[in-house]
Structure 1
């Protein structure tokens, strides 16, 4: 492949030959006309090779195509001029009209090429400022070229032809326009350095006119042989530069150009005022120079005013932006209340001076709203509660949102904390938000004198709020000494749970599920137990809620599921599947929201080899009533063949309607309906009501094709009564207490021996 710099070397050689010819003077004078067209032909080939070899953007390809056309037109014009020179030798010729037209067209095409280079400016305001700067620069550049170039050519004793003057004028316009345009080209599809090289060719016109005026005959030779061949050299250099351009944009702004133009305009002004040629010698030219300098000064003043106006606007926008950032940094984006940062600043200020009273408020069971109705409804509820809190607080305090559904009020009125708490509880007694939701909240109040650390005051208020929740929620409690101990114990319990999971301190016990007709074990319910190394056996009523609050119920439930499937599969291998028709671990609502829960169930069944229809997942009504996502998970489990049991049936408000949407296979009658059911019709009204509910449940289940299990059976009389009502399966202490795996193994072995003997 030919070297990309070959055309630059050719144009450079032409320029050097022109200089050498001028110095040596070998050959006739018309030889001076050969160098310019020779260099332009080389430049045409350089531009064509660039378009052929380099993948250019559309704007770049159009720019270099126009330059190629311009160079070709001017080359043709200078060839005609060279031919005319040799014909008129030894006299230098007047520029032929055809030559003038072709060169002029070439300059016009070059102007179009430079003018079409994109500047990357899109807004009208930025475009207007840029045009103002370019106008200043154009006038400043033009007055210099006029005074030192074109005007002397017009007024010299040796009259120049109209064609030459037209070409020089176009050259001046191209020079002034190109210089001002390229100062704002950021790069991109056309390399800014390459365009500057192209623009520099326009300055050749200035050199030509100065030399021509200064030295007449010798000047014409110098321009043709020395000055003008520099233009093709610059074009070839621009083509080579574009080959290696990166296409990156420059962020530099040429703010100095208008001021440089003003200085440039002062040069001809000083020459007119203080030079050898005074104003009176060329009154019209002097007026043009003075007027142009004044115009430049005026435009610069206008530009300065625009800059000052823009700076003032930017300062206002910056102040507004800083205020907005400050607001966003100290306020909650959802509710508009102050956030934790702003609340702590206000609390620290209050504790540094007079002391403070804090009221912490937490929505009760807020996660239920998110789970059942969606997070959008939950967000709307938080906004509505924030508005309610703000209105209820009034002038007695400053509310803030700390995190999630936790809010705080810094009470500013002495002794007004109780009134604020009562107003909050009263305000949320009625439904709020667009969805008319009835919510409850628990609040804790704590006070501290000046100098108390803020973290201590917040700890006390949090302990009081915890106590309010422990007392049944939907109320407020004032902090008293020692109230933080239950909360600390609960937090410690959460830490112990994490450690217990890692240490393997949990174990499973199994309560038999029995056929009421013959006493056979036909299934088990798996129950988790925690043997603490220091506290001994910890009640599930204590650690299960803590696991729910901390989210540890998910890994704990995953372990229970896998261990249950493993153990039951081992029993099935030893005793067969007949005594293991219903194997039921309990499932938490937090597990149902775990995106990996279905995969966990599938993996537990696959690893253990337990058939899916033997696994019964027991769920409470509150877990089922958690929205579409939970129902989707339940249907996926049902489609896998896993059976679902509705535990504690009859205790909720929507038990009957649940059975239509929930793919249940088993209904478990709650223990509260079994207690005292043996008293019969002669018993109390409460016992009669329990019998009625139990009868209705079994009839409904039979109608829907569901199995029923009666829970909490404690004596034989209850077994007999339940059998009369239609129940065939039950569980309870009378039928079998929860037992470890070894005891359950012995029970199943004894049952198998009895069946074999029978």
Structure 2
């Protein structure tokens, strides 16, 4: 599914139609002039209003786009108003001035206002270094060009004007001419500035406007009647075409995929205008002095001008030398930035670059979404195949992401096995489609260390909302990614605000759980495991409960996931292990041989990863006076496949004599294969297979339950059925060969005192 760039959604602005209309109007005027001005002068003047109207409409199209950087909207908004005043001047020229190629006050006033707005628009562009020195240099360059062009107009252009030229026409011509030269300087600096905001190609096209104004005013003042006519009918169409076409280029640049800002190459001719102005002024001084001064004064001025020329030449050489040095510094800076913003292993942008790119889009009010991608079970792969193979796999994942990203999508490696993709969209459906596409790409097999591996990943999606920072968007994606992992991995989840509240709730609950462990608010209850033949308890499973002083009873389904996520499962599990063993020791002291022989304790995978867990178990057994045979540790299938560290811990416990029970057996994807690799002693059939077997309607459950019983008998393992809730289930399980079982039919989880009473009581009648 392709991803459309929604960076500033395009309004109904006519596409490239305004530029085509302005070009057609300009071309029509040119043809009219080449044909020798046939018909009424009115026909020649019509091109101006048409072209300027198209220019105003095109500039409005850019200025009114949504989610476009504010400087760009402001610039084109001013050009829209400038084009509007120039359109007014063109209309007045058609209505009142088509029989006079001069400049009256009716045309001149809106013309001057339009030029003034153009000056304001261009002066707002970043055209120099944002330092006091940079601003001073720009001001001096502008002053140099302004003075030089004013002198040239005063002594050359206006001097060539006919004697009957009105003063107002002279002032308008000089103002437009000098302004045009100044605009060329500003445009040149803005196009070459690293901080440019408007598209450089648009700025280059806009140079047509000041050039047309500068050349046109010369023709208007000093030209023949035909030259003045050419200016009168052609200047405004040219200006209109330049604005309309530049707006079209700006629209295309906004819709195109984002590219790195290219460094300005070379030194623009427009940036040499200050030096050209100095040289021209020097020539003008020589010319004037040759006519009006004595020999000694003339020699002195010529010498001063020569010195000025030498200084200018020296400055040009210094500029070239500085340019070469600056180019070397910029190359080094670019390399340092590349190293600082890219990941050395994969070559992708790193966390810093991703955060910068996301922040820039958000600050520019452009649509953005972040995908956070975490490779599932990468630790197990890394532990099994080694770090070198793990690095090779991460490199291939990076290349796979890069290959499946479309134009405008930025893939990055945040660190470890975490990757991210920046999307130029705020459409949830589109972001979800991209997540599905990337997951499908990562689902193809990888060839690593001469092995073919199937890999999955979990993806969190966060859409940048109004007012959010880049850091907040990344945190939201992180929260969604963890939700994807908790939902079963190999999937994506889109962030919802409720998730942040849930995370805050979990954080508060984790803090309160820590205090509960310290203050002794937790307690254990025990669900007996019964011998289904004798009806006597043969063991008990220790289950933790939390009676909160304010919340009341807190379900294990709420606080156990919080404990696992926060790491509190380690101290919590240590407390459960010690408390359960101490309770069994008390029962054995009280009931002797009638006491249950062993206690079942659930152990989380995080505990099994702890390097000192085996020593901790040995210490607890020694301190409570129990043997290793008195303890059964229950683990889930997902714990067993966690990695070599967990497998080594389980093997050490088995060798010590501690019994190992595989809890929720049958629900995993590799249950049978685990029996060969895992030193199991007890299989606990999951409650989902016990439900519904009484009536025999679900043949699948019946088959699995029967197969587990036969498998346990064949492998000489102890089989325990969980979740027995009625007599019919009990009878069916007995028929299948199950010797042991748990469930509410026999006993719910009980306090230690009530559980102890069952050890000396007569067998229940239901057995």
TM-score, normalised by the number of residues in structure 2? 0.52
Residue 446 of structure 1 is aligned with which of 440, 463, 466?
Answer: 463
Cα drift, residue 569 of structure 1 = 0.9
Contact 2:443 2:454 in 1 (8 A): no
Residue 707 of structure 1 is aligned with which of 718, 724, 728?
Answer: 718
Task: Please give the alpha-carbon distance, in whole angstroms, between the structure 2 residues aligned to 1:633 and 1:692.
Answer: 33
Task: Please give the alpha-carbon distance, in whole angstroms, between the structure 1 residues aligned to 2:752 and 2:364.
Answer: 64
Tell me what 1:698 maps to. 709
Contact 1:358 1:461 in 2 (8 A): no
Cα drift, residue 745 of structure 1 = 2.6
Tell me what 2:92 maps to. none
Tell me what 1:494 maps to. 510
Cα drift, residue 579 of structure 1 = 3.1
Tell me what 1:737 maps to. 748
Cα drift, residue 367 of structure 1 = 5.2
String of CA shifts for 1:441-477, please: whole Å, max 9, x gaps.
222131245x643333334444444555566554445
Task: Please give the alpha-carbon distance, in whole angstroms, between the structure 1 residues aligned to 2:329 and 2:518.
Answer: 54
For the pair 1:430 / 2:441, whether they are aligned, the reply is no
Q: Residues 345, 364 of structure 1: CA spacing in aligned structure 2 closer, same or farther, 3 A cutoff?
A: closer
Contact 1:647 1:668 in 2 (8 A): yes
Q: Residues 343, 398 of structure 1: CA spacing in aligned structure 2 closer, same or farther, 3 A cutoff?
A: same
Task: Please give the alpha-carbon distance, in whole angstroms, between the structure 1 residues aligned to 2:711 and 2:483.
Answer: 42
Cα drift, residue 512 of structure 1 = 0.4
Task: Please give the alpha-carbon distance, in whole angstroms, between the structure 1 residues aligned to 2:538 and 2:551.
Answer: 35
Contact 2:690 2:729 in 1 (8 A): yes
SS state at 2:406 partner: helix
SS state at 2:664 partner: strand
Residue 399 of structure 2 is aligned with which of 372, 381, 387?
Answer: 387
**Superposition map of 1:633-672 within 5 A:** 633-672=649-688
Q: Residues 382, 502 of structure 1: CA spacing in aligned structure 2 closer, same or farther, 3 A cutoff?
A: farther
Task: Please give the alpha-carbon distance, in whole angstroms, between the structure 1 residues aligned to 2:364 and 2:611.
Answer: 50
String of CA shifts for 1:354-398, please: whole Å, max 9, x gaps.
345131323264356357635635444433322222222232222
String of CA shifts for 1:55-77, please: whole Å, max 9, x gaps.
xxxxxxxxxxxxxxxxxxxxxxx
Contact 1:330 1:339 in 2 (8 A): yes
Task: Please give the alpha-carbon distance, in whole angstroms, between the structure 2 residues aligned to 1:602 and 1:573.
Answer: 20
Q: Residues 724, 608 of structure 1: CA spacing in aligned structure 2 closer, same or farther, 3 A cutoff?
A: same
RCO (CA 8 Å, sep 6+): is it higher in 1 or 2? 2
Residue 339 of structure 1 is aligned with which of 350, 358, 364?
Answer: 350
Task: Please give the alpha-carbon distance, in whole angstroms, between the structure 2 residues aligned to 1:459 and 1:467.
Answer: 12
SS state at 2:704 partner: helix
Contact 1:371 1:626 in 2 (8 A): no
Cα drift, residue 514 of structure 1 = 0.7
Deviates more, 1:592-601 or 1:624-633: 624-633
SS state at 2:405 partner: helix
String of CA shifts for 1:666-694, please: whole Å, max 9, x gaps.
12122222222222xxx32x2x3333322
Cα RMSD of the aligned pairs, angstroms, is 3.2
Cα drift, residue 523 of structure 1 = 0.8
Task: Please give the alpha-carbon distance, in whole angstroms, between the structure 2 residues aligned to 1:494 and 1:367.
Answer: 27
SS state at 2:453 partner: coil
Cα drift, residue 572 of structure 1 = 0.9
Task: Please give the alpha-carbon distance, in whole angstroms, between the structure 2 residues aligned to 1:371 and 1:674.
Answer: 38
Task: Please give the alpha-carbon distance, in whole angstroms, between the structure 1 residues aligned to 2:386 and 2:564.
Answer: 20
**Superposition map of 1:583-594 within 5 A:** 583-594=599-610
Tell me what 2:370 maps to. 359
Paired positions, count: 434
Tell me what 2:628 maps to. 612
**Superposition map of 1:457-536 within 5 A:** 457-466=473-482, 468-469=484-485, 473-536=489-552
Gap regions ≥5 residues in structure 1: 1-314
Tell me what 2:361 maps to. 350
Tell me what 1:566 maps to. 582
Contact 1:511 1:736 in 2 (8 A): yes
SS state at 2:634 partner: strand
Cα drift, residue 330 of structure 1 = 2.6
Select the structure of larger CA radius of gyration: 1
Residue 399 of structure 1 is aligned with which of 400, 411, 419?
Answer: 411
Contact 2:614 2:652 in 1 (8 A): yes
Residue 330 of structure 1 is aligned with which of 311, 318, 341?
Answer: 341
SS state at 2:372 partner: strand
Task: Please give the alpha-carbon distance, in whole angstroms, between the structure 2 residues aligned to 1:518 and 1:632.
Answer: 37
Tell me what 1:576 maps to. 592
Contact 1:357 1:417 in 2 (8 A): no
Residue 409 of structure 1 is aligned with which of 413, 421, 425?
Answer: 421
Tell me what 1:73 maps to. none
Task: Please give the alpha-carbon distance, in whole angstroms, between the structure 1 residues aligned to 2:468 and 2:406.
Answer: 26
Cα drift, residue 529 of structure 1 = 1.7
Contact 2:376 2:490 in 1 (8 A): no
SS state at 2:368 partner: strand
Q: Residues 741, 665 of structure 1: CA spacing in aligned structure 2 closer, same or farther, 3 A cutoff?
A: same
Contact 1:554 1:591 in 2 (8 A): yes
For the pair 1:547 / 2:592, whether they are aligned, the reply is no
Contact 2:350 2:412 in 1 (8 A): yes
Task: Please give the alpha-carbon distance, in whole angstroms, between the structure 2 residues aligned to 1:529 and 1:646.
Answer: 22
Q: Residues 476, 523 of structure 1: CA spacing in aligned structure 2 closer, same or farther, 3 A cutoff?
A: closer
Task: Please give the alpha-carbon distance, in whole angstroms, between the structure 2 residues aligned to 1:419 and 1:670.
Answer: 36
Contact 2:660 2:681 in 1 (8 A): yes
Deviates more, 1:460-469 or 1:610-619: 460-469
Contact 2:400 2:441 in 1 (8 A): yes
Contact 1:715 1:734 in 2 (8 A): yes
Task: Please give the alpha-carbon distance, in whole angstroms, between the structure 2 residues aligned to 1:562 and 1:325.
Answer: 56
Q: Residues 320, 664 of structure 1: CA spacing in aligned structure 2 closer, same or farther, 3 A cutoff?
A: farther
Q: Residues 741, 334 of structure 1: CA spacing in aligned structure 2 closer, same or farther, 3 A cutoff?
A: farther
Cα drift, residue 525 of structure 1 = 0.5
Contact 2:724 2:741 in 1 (8 A): yes
Contact 1:669 1:710 in 2 (8 A): yes
Contact 2:348 2:398 in 1 (8 A): yes
SS state at 2:512 partner: helix
Contact 2:462 2:473 in 1 (8 A): no
Q: Residues 390, 675 of structure 1: CA spacing in aligned structure 2 closer, same or farther, 3 A cutoff?
A: same
For the pair 1:420 / 2:434, whether they are aligned, the reply is yes
Contact 1:356 1:410 in 2 (8 A): no
Contact 2:530 2:742 in 1 (8 A): yes
SS state at 1:653 partner: coil
Q: Residues 462, 633 of structure 1: CA spacing in aligned structure 2 closer, same or farther, 3 A cutoff?
A: closer
Task: Please give the alpha-carbon distance, in whole angstroms, between the structure 2 residues aligned to 1:423 and 1:663.
Answer: 40
Q: Residues 509, 548 of structure 1: CA spacing in aligned structure 2 closer, same or farther, 3 A cutoff?
A: same
Cα drift, residue 321 of structure 1 = 8.5
Cα drift, residue 604 of structure 1 = 0.9
